[in-house]
Amino acid sequence: MTTFWCEHAELGTGPVPGVRISVDNGRIAAIDRVPIPADGDTRLAGVVLPGFANAHSHAFHRALRGRTHDQGGTFWTWRERMYAVADRLDPDSYLALARATYAEMALAGVTCVGEFHYLHHPAGGGRYADPNAMSEALVQAAAEAGVRLTLLDACYLTGGLEDGGHLPLGDVQLRFSDGDADAWAARVAELKERPGLRIGAAVHSVRAVPADQLPTVVAAASGRPLHVHLSEQPAENAACQGFYGRTPTGLLDGAGALGPDTTVVHALHLTGDDISALGGSRTSVCACPSTEADLADGMGLFRLLGDAGSPLCLGSDQHVQTDLLAEARELEERDRLITHERGRFRPAELVEALTVAGHRSLGWADAGRLAPGQRADLVAVRLDSPRTAGAAPDQLVMAATAADVHTVVTDGRVVVSGGQHVLGDVGRLLADAIAPLWDER
């Protein structure tokens, strides 16, 4: 039994002072109100929150941070540079990059990540000796970084969508594709869940998976998390409307892809009917505010989606920043800019998006709350830093950043202590993983 004494702990009704959390075999065994720590307690200063779930990640996009701001452009020109990095990765370099990327997430309080994975095969197509070698690199990376993983293995079959129909795969996209949805499902079926690993599914987008292939993916995902990029760009909506005569949301709805096990990512350019379909089916929505700003995607109507019935969660997506507290804050700030009103999301709702809702989206019903029986995921955030000093504990999410996270416990294991990750210098790990990807060749 390990015991953590928390100066404040978020027990579901707001932070309360003086809490001891007893941990046994990776689970919370007991929670007691204790005004002062006892000998043997690990003392956690500040506010202890449940572990954060980063519900949408592409680990390899971390290599693009600070590298794409020199030539203007659009989402589509950014994508060309992303493809250039994708073209260079193999299982070894993918492992190094993902391990460092997940370690950076752990430093930011992330205890569980949803990796939306489509970099399946060797550059140019073909197959590795183990057709899941790239997936296994991600599994190993997350385990070594001390972050639980839901591997959202993405079906990706076509090069895009225009009014005339789906486009053939481009050269770089060949490695994303299994050929058809049946072959994708057969490969994913070979992936086995392990402690700390869930296998989920993804439809890359309605651009990359033709409508006649969607039911196969939906069937293969049955009972597991299913994630989809949805309406990130107006061009996707226009092409879908032009070819299928429906919105992307309508197309997914018609294929039976919406529901409480499904999460749509972005969901920025929606009609009223789309919002009703998503909310009415209790489909989760994952907002990625920093990416949506960075890629000039637009602003979502997340308050309306939440009010319609969609649970909201958060992702760092392309990792323009790895700061889930900032993503949560930006969810509220974007809605203020749209509506000219403050307090669109209460701080407690932002914490819920970071914790319970994210874990539910990723298929972990036993994580995201500080309660007996739950996984022992703890994130301790300073109340005494230059950024947070003076903040009320129950409004900390509107002030703190990733730099204020000092201790992170995942499944009872201390992964970050004193702001240091067990793997050591994460900046060095990132630099060493990223530099070779940008070498002149």
Minimum distance between the CB of residue 265 and Zn ion, rounded to whole angstroms? Answer: 6
Site string for Zn ion, 286-325 (x = CB under 5 A): -------------------------------x--------
Of 155, 276, 282, nearest in space to 212 by CA: 155
Exposure string of 282-306, with b = 16+ CB inside 10 Å and e = fewer, is ebbbbbbbbbbebbebeebbbbbbb
CB of 317 to Zn ion, least distance (A): 5
Look at residues 289, 361, 272, 372 and name the one whose alpha carbon lies nearest to residue 330.
289
Options 178, 274, 294, 317, the catalytic residue: 317
Assess whether 384 carries a catalytic annotation. no
Cβ 318 to Zn ion shortest distance, Å: 7
Both tokens of 118, joined, read 């489509």
Phi, psi for 63 (deg, rounded to 5) = -70, -15
Q: Which residues pair with 6 in a beta bridge?
A: 19, 44
Nearer Cβ to Zn ion (104/404):
104
Q: How far is the CB of 366 from Zn ion (least distance, A)?
A: 26
In the three-class reduction of DSSP (H, G, I as helix; E, B as strand; rest coil), residue 335 is classed as helix
Looking at residues 315 to 374 of the shown chain, list those that interact with Zn ion (rule: CB under 5 A).
317
Which residue's CB is nearer to Zn ion, number 214 or number 287? 287
Which 3 state secondary structure label does DSSP give 84?
Answer: helix
Handedness of CA 364, 370, 373, 375 (dihedral sign): positive
User: Which of 61, 266, 269, 319 is the catalytic position?
Assistant: 266
Six token digits for residue 258: 């919406």
Nearer to Zn ion, 317 or 352 (CB): 317
Question: Could you tell me the two tokens for 152?
Answer: 């959202």
Kindly state the smallest distance separating residue 266's Cβ from Zn ion, in Å. 8
Q: How far is the CB of 62 from Zn ion (least distance, A)?
A: 13
Cα(151)–Cα(23) distance, integer angstroms: 27
Give the rounded distance of the alpha carbon of 230 from its chain centre.
15
Alpha-carbon distance of 330 to 288, in angstroms, equals 9
Measured from the CB atom, the residue of 263 and 310 that comes closer to Zn ion is 263
Q: Which residue is nearest to Zn ion (CB)?
A: 317
Q: Which structure tokens are listed for 276? A: 């009703």
For residues 120 and 176, is the Cβ–Cβ distance under 8 A? yes
- Cβ closest to Zn ion, residue 157 vs residue 351: 157
| Residue at 207: amino acid letter | R
| Catalytic (active site) residue 121 | no
Closest to Zn ion by CB, 19 vs 228, is 228
- In the complex, which residues of this chain contact Zn ion (CB under 5 A)? 317
The residues assigned a catalytic role are 266, 317
